Amino acid sequence: MNINYTAEELAFRDEVRAFLDDKLPADIAEKVKGLRKLSKEDHQRWQKILSAQGWYATHWPAEHGGVEWSAVQKHIWDEESCRYGVPRTIPFGVNMVAPVIIKFGNEQQKQQYLPRILSGEDWWCQGYSEPGAGSDLASLKTRAVRDGDHYIVNGQKTWTTLGQHADMIFCLVRTNTEVKAQEGISFLLIDMNTPGITVRPIITLDGEHEVNEVFFEDVKVPLANLVGEEDKGWTYAKYLLTYERTGLAGIGLSKAALGHLKSLASRRLKHGRPLIEDTGFSQRIAQVEIDLMAAAISNLRIIASVEGGGVPGAESSMLKVRGTEIRQTINDLARRAIGPYAIPFIEEELALDFDGDYLSDEYAAPLSAHYFNNRKLSIFGGSNEIQKNIVSKMILGL
């Protein structure tokens, strides 16, 4: 594999940089680089800018309004976005449910939902995990029973990221209890404003309202909202998860975080000298940088292998495991660089409008919050232990 960019790819990188220099709002970039909270309005403002450029739906075919970038172009966009401080794309609509609708949905569903995802008119969330059905997703118990031209849905989903903002949720539901667990699951699109849906916040350790519990009580969902065939939802879920797990590798995010770590270690002092000059600490930075370089090459190799339009297979599990471990290591080193100031957690310093005196470095509070929040990386999207089982079975044949 040639790891050097071609002249055309370098020209594309220049185009990306020029666009970000011109269009990325400075206040949003400042929040992203400072690990500050972003509002729903921040995300929507940036989505409109991307959509106007035609660069929002990078996983979609052109016939549906997507941009048909090569795998390398997508990689360049990801790296430059993270370097500039571009907000993370909320993936549930554009990068997760949309590919499923494009591949398995009917024409009416494509015409109804895809334009609204592109325009930002609909904000989507994901209804997969349940209490007792996380990594073992096939054990889910939320039921959908046919009643005329509707399904009646009852059950509970949990860890629903940003569900408090959502207009729509895509759900895995059990439609058949008489077959093997994986064979009785269907994929439904549900309007969050439907009577019988209750969203209850879960406040995480960093004080943030990011995830939720979602309860369904006799919720009526039109049969037309079934994607594909009844009882075949497990197939569609696996297809979606290959996109999710590849994105969870977070190579661009880790490169940006590594840059922050080096900057922080250059400012913090140990015995009167910059921490980055400390032999033990610099060796730990060097090791995680080597690991990140290896993961980046693996990521390029995998995306190059699907250049023709396919999706990653079990290799996405390998990326998810290694990528999340690297991100957590960088978070840990940054927390160690702050030292004792990482111990007190001052939630007020995370507020968008905070204008008081910081306890220590202005980076300390958001860094601690980021560290706590990112402990979840090796759990969601299928825990790393489950991903290792997939790799051992599907790649190593064990």
Positions annotated as catalytic residues are 244
Rounded CA gap, 31 and 38, in Å? 7
Q: 3-class SS at 168? A: strand
Give the pairing type, strands 197-203 and 124-127.
unpaired
Measured in degrees and rounded to the nearest 5, phi and psi for residue 156 equal: -145, 140
- The secondary structure of residue 232, as a DSSP letter, is B
| Residue 398 Cα distances to 210, 298, 394, 395, angstroms | 38, 22, 8, 8
Query: Could you write out the DSSP letters of every residue in 91-160?
Result: HIIIIIIHHHHHHHS-HHHHHHHHHHHHHT---EEEE--BTTBSSSGGG---EEEEETTEEEEEEEE-S-
CA 109, CA 170: separation in Å to the nearest integer? 13
Q: Show the DSSP H helices in 268-382 as ranges.
A: 279-305, 315-338, 364-373
| Angular region, 19: left φ>0, alpha ψ -120 to 50, beta rest | alpha
Say how far apart CA 174 and CA 170 lie, in whole Å: 13
